[in-house]
Amino acid sequence: MILCQTWTWICLVTFVLLTTHMSRSFGVAKVSVGPPENIKIIDPGHLGYLNIEWTKPGSLHDLTNCTIRYQLRFYDTYTGRWKGVQTSRLYYSDQFDLEKPIQVRLLTLLKGSCTNGTDVLGEEVELVHMPEHKGVAGSRIRDFHCVYFNKEYMECTWEPGSAEPAGSKRYLYYWQRTMQETKECPEYVPSHERRKGCRFPPDSLLDFSEFNICVNGSSHAGDLEPAFFSLATQNHVKPAAVSNLHLAHNDSQVQVWWDPPSGPIAAHCLEYELQITTKNHNGSEQQTAVMEETAFDFHQHPETERTCFQVRSKVNMYCADNGFWSEWSKLSCIPEINQEEIACTFWSPLPKLAAAASVIVVFGTVCLILWMLTKIWRNRNEQKHAFRALYQEKVQKVIPPILNPMV
Ligand SMILES: *[C@@H]1O[C@H](CO)[C@@H](O)[C@H](O)[C@H]1NC(C)=O
Ligand SMILES: *[C@@H]1O[C@H](CO)[C@@H](O)[C@H](O)[C@H]1NC(C)=O
Ligand SMILES: *[C@@H]1O[C@H](CO)[C@@H](O)[C@H](O)[C@H]1NC(C)=O
Ligand SMILES: *[C@@H]1O[C@H](CO)[C@@H](O)[C@H](O)[C@H]1NC(C)=O
Ligand SMILES: *[C@@H]1O[C@H](CO)[C@@H](O)[C@H](O)[C@H]1NC(C)=O
């Protein structure tokens, strides 16, 4: 009985497997969908913005009443994920990191009366291409970063590579969507004999577009290893410092308000961090608050001796994915402090140490000078006494004591 049931099961499973296999091979046999052909990766010299081109599969040339589409996937090295697109065109362009392998996968998609209305996916083919860059080993620049100061100009700087051959000279080239071809840095930032950065005026910058950069170079030993970067300029903004922090207060409440830093950054694109330092006889305490508004009411404890405020700003999440904090505004306090007091009260430990050291040095120098002066004076006195004694001795010998003027 059990044996019979087992056999039935085996027969059923085999039948299901066979039929599904047969129906599949029947479907494929009807229209064979080959992969796209002649896939090429073309570098038009835009520092990473590449074109991928292909041709229609030969087997589909005399196909009618069916739409052919292509599914392209590529490995996005910036995000570490595969990205996919579908297109009916025979080309696609996107940003790639020229320092990493370029991996592209393509397949053909068929739909229409030729496939009885269902989607038919062809076989996927992969193309891996490693861009070749030669150069003196270890000469690639390091620590590259860009700051877009108050959206007025952008400065990108770097450190030299671990091996910097003799006669090295760096070049920076950049490209963005509106440009036909790359351009060289408009204004290099020098450092001694070298170039350590590039300054871009605002008219050379475009928001929300790939900004591609290549830093390469030449030397007596040959070309230097190039470095490639792609950035979104709007994510590198560092606003100017807030310059006018106002305070108004009564016994229990302090009102703080300020104006957004002047310049091209829209006011609705900024967020602020307010730092409040309160001081009473117990010591001082610090609080911070991040806000979108440009005003804040602070309830102060009646025993507070002094409350100080500082604010800094940054582009908010509605206008960019990233950004830098501005410098802090000048310290504003209630009651106001004069400049010397600021120096005394709000010194960080390092300048404090330096100040203590310099006081010791000055004091020591003064002591040393005083000690030397007294020594000299004493010596002089001793000499004077000695001379006088000698003189008196001589005079007394020559002139009778009554006529001696010195005594
Ligand atoms: C293709 O479609 C047209 C109408 O759109 C029809 O007249 C023709 O018979 C179809 N051809 C085939 C091979 O199915
Ligand atoms: C195509 O569709 C028709 C009607 O829906 C169906 O009768 C026929 O079996 C289908 N053919 C294939 C190969 O799927
Ligand atoms: C640096 O790169 C630019 C742009 O790709 C190129 O025109 C130039 O010849 C390169 N220079 C060196 C020294 O490699
Ligand atoms: C201080 O000012 C706030 C509002 O400006 C007010 O609500 C509060 O009553 C005032 N306190 C005193 C002690 O005057
Ligand atoms: C100072 O410290 C004492 C005890 O630690 C506390 O009772 C008092 O409230 C504090 N004063 C202020 C102004 O914080």
pLDDT tens digit sequence for 266-277: 999 999 999 999
Query: Does pLDDT of 21 surpass 70?
Result: no
Would you say residue 399 lies in a domain? no
Q: Which of 211, 237, 263 is the last residue of a domain?
A: 237
Start-to-end CA span in the chain (Å): 152
Q: Which of 279, 306, 338 is the last residue of a domain?
A: 338
| Nearest listed ligand to the Cα of residue 250 | 4
Can you tell me the distance from the alpha carbon of 269 to that of 324, in angstroms, rounded to the nearest whole number? Answer: 13
| Nearest listed ligand to the Cα of residue 115 | 2
Ligand 4 binding pocket, CB closer than 6 Å: 250-253
Ligand 4 atom closest to 248 (CA): 5
Would you say residue 272 lies in a domain? yes
Question: If pLDDT is split at 50, 70 and 90, which confidence band does 17 have?
Answer: very low
Can you tell me the distance from the alpha carbon of 40 to that of 129, in angstroms, rounded to the nearest whole number? Answer: 10
Clarify whether residues 156 and 69 are in a common domain. Answer: no
Cβ atoms 48, 228 nearer than 8 A? yes
**Res 50: pLDDT:** 95
Closest protein CA for atom 2 of ligand 1: 65
Q: How does pLDDT run across 100-133, given as a tens digit for each residue? A: 999 999 999 998 888 888 888 999 999 999 998 8
Integer CA distances (angstroms), 257 to 121, 129, 192, 294, 330, in order: 62, 56, 43, 6, 13
Task: Give the DSSP letter string of 8-52.
Answer: HHHHHHHHHHHHHHHHHHHHHHHS--PPPEEEEEE--SSTTEEEE
Would you say residue 229 lies in a domain? yes
Q: How does pLDDT run across 170-212, given as a tens digit for each residue? A: 999 999 988 999 999 999 999 988 999 999 998 888 777 789 9
Q: What is the Cα 263 distance to its own chain's centre?
A: 21
Range 331-353 average pLDDT: 66
**Res 32: pLDDT:** 75
Can you tell me the distance from the alpha carbon of 187 to that of 201, in angstroms, rounded to the nearest whole number? Answer: 9
CB atoms within 10 A of CB 324: 17
- Ligand 3: does its nearest atom lie under 6 Å from the Cβ of 218? yes
**Res 300: pLDDT:** 87
Clarify whether residues 157 and 174 are in a common domain. Answer: yes
Query: Does pLDDT of 244 surpass 60?
Result: yes
Closest protein CA for atom 6 of ligand 3: 173
Question: If pLDDT is split at 50, 70 and 90, which confidence band does 401 have?
Answer: very low
Can you tell me the distance from the alpha carbon of 362 to that of 369, in angstroms, rounded to the nearest whole number? Answer: 11
Would you say residue 368 lies in a domain? no
**Res 250: pLDDT:** 86
Clarify whether residues 272 and 301 are in a common domain. Answer: yes
Written as six digits, the tokens of 245 are 């922090």
Would you say residue 226 lies in a domain? yes
Close Cβ partners of 197 (under 8 Å, ≥ 6 residues apart): 155, 156, 157, 158, 188, 189, 191
**Res 208: pLDDT:** 73
Ligand 4 atom closest to 255 (CA): 5
Clarify whether residues 119 and 31 are in a common domain. Answer: yes
Q: How does pLDDT run across 367-381, given as a tens digit for each residue? A: 677 777 777 677 666
Q: Which CATH number do you get for residue 261? A: 2.60.40.10
Clarify whether residues 169 and 250 are in a common domain. Answer: no
Clarify whether residues 54 and 89 are in a common domain. Answer: yes
Clarify whether residues 162 and 249 are in a common domain. Answer: no
- Ligand 3: does its nearest atom lie under 6 Å from the Cβ of 182? yes
Tell me which of 153 and 3 has the higher pLDDT.
153
| Nearest listed ligand to the Cα of residue 136 | 3
Q: Which of 186, 209, 237 is the last residue of a domain?
A: 237
| Nearest listed ligand to the Cα of residue 29 | 2
Clarify whether residues 121 and 160 are in a common domain. Answer: no
Closest protein CA for atom 7 of ligand 1: 65
Query: Does pLDDT of 88 surpass 50?
Result: yes
| Ligand 2 geometric centre to CA of 25 (Å) | 15
Closest protein CA for atom 10 of ligand 1: 65
**Res 302: pLDDT:** 85
Query: Does pLDDT of 14 surpass 90?
Result: no
Can you tell me the distance from the alpha carbon of 347 to that of 353, in angstroms, rounded to the nearest whole number? Answer: 10
**Res 356: pLDDT:** 66
Can you tell me the distance from the alpha carbon of 224 to that of 215, in angstroms, rounded to the nearest whole number? Answer: 9
Range 301-311 average pLDDT: 91
Range of the domain at 258: 239-338
Residue with tokens 């290893």: 225
Q: What is the dihedral of CA 247, 248, 251, 253, to 10 degrees?
A: -70
The enclosing H or E element of 248 equals: strand 245-249
- Ligand 1: does its nearest atom lie under 6 Å from the Cβ of 113? yes
Integer CA distances (angstroms), 312 to 5, 205, 248, 287, in order: 79, 25, 19, 14
| Ligand 5 geometric centre to CA of 282 (Å) | 6
- Ligand 1: does its nearest atom lie under 6 Å from the Cβ of 180? no
- Ligand 1: does its nearest atom lie under 6 Å from the Cβ of 117? no
- Ligand 3: does its nearest atom lie under 6 Å from the Cβ of 173? yes
- Dihedrals φ, ψ of 290, to 5°? -100, 135
Cβ atoms 55, 68 nearer than 8 A? no
**Res 403: pLDDT:** 42
pTM to 2 decimals?
A: 0.70
Q: How many domains does the chain have?
A: 3
Cα Rg of the chain (Å, integer) = 40
| Ligand 5 geometric centre to CA of 341 (Å) | 24
Can you tell me the distance from the alpha carbon of 316 to that of 269, in angstroms, rounded to the nearest whole number? Answer: 5
Range 20-41 average pLDDT: 65
Would you say residue 115 lies in a domain? yes
- Ligand 3: does its nearest atom lie under 6 Å from the Cβ of 33? no
Q: What is the Cα 333 distance to its own chain's centre?
A: 33
Would you say residue 84 lies in a domain? yes
**Res 124: pLDDT:** 94
**% the chain with pLDDT above 70:** 79
Ligand 3 atom closest to 171 (CA): 1
Q: Partners of 93 in the beta sheet?
A: 51
Q: Partners of 313 in the beta sheet?
A: 272
The enclosing H or E element of 99 equals: none
Tell me which of 29 and 384 has the higher pLDDT.
384
- Nearest residue to 83 (alpha-carbon basis) of 92, 366, 343, 204: 92
| Ligand 3 geometric centre to CA of 117 (Å) | 52
Integer CA distances (angstroms), 191 to 168, 183, 197, in order: 13, 22, 9
Would you say residue 345 lies in a domain? no
Q: What is the Cα 127 distance to its own chain's centre?
A: 33
Ligand 3 atom closest to 182 (CA): 4
Clarify whether residues 221 and 261 are in a common domain. Answer: no
Q: What is the mean pLDDT of the chain?
A: 83
Clarify whether residues 227 and 243 are in a common domain. Answer: no
**Res 19: pLDDT:** 38
Q: What angle do CA 251, 257, 261 make, to 5 degrees?
A: 155
Closest protein CA for atom 7 of ligand 4: 253
Query: Does pLDDT of 306 surpass 60?
Result: yes
Range with the lowest mean pLDDT among 86-100, 110-124, 323-337?
110-124
Range 157-175 average pLDDT: 94
**Res 294: pLDDT:** 96
Clarify whether residues 258 and 305 are in a common domain. Answer: yes
Cβ atoms 279, 306 nearer than 8 A? yes
* Bridge-based pairing state of the strands 245-249 and 253-258: antiparallel
Can you tell me the distance from the alpha carbon of 14 to that of 12, in angstroms, rounded to the nearest whole number? Answer: 5
Clarify whether residues 164 and 177 are in a common domain. Answer: yes
